[in-house]
Amino acid sequence: MEKVKEVDPSKMVQRILEDDAAQVAATPDQTCQMGIVVYGGIAKLPLEQAATVAAFMLKSGMEP
């Protein structure tokens, strides 16, 4: 979670990620903000690792 703190100084995303009920109750705005933070964090990874993680996230987002 240390890396999340670097890209989410408000800790909003961290609080939601740590709480299953908060994930279900997240507003569209919070969900969008979480996506921005997550993909911002992915962009800070080494290129090969970023590609793998981004592909996983995209695939996961397409599953029902």
Structural domain containing residue 34: 2-62
Are 16 and 26 contacting, i.e. CB atoms less than 8 angstroms apart? yes
Distance CA 18, CA 1 (A): 10
The percent of residues in the chain predicted with pLDDT above 90, rounded, is: 30
Q: What pLDDT is recorded for position 50? A: 94
Instruction: Render the burial of 21-53: b for 16+ CB within 10 Å, e for the rest.
Output: eeeeebeeebeebbeebbeebbeeeeeeeeeee
For the chain, what is the domain count?
Answer: 1
10-39: pLDDT as tens digits: 778 888 888 989 988 999 988 888 888 888
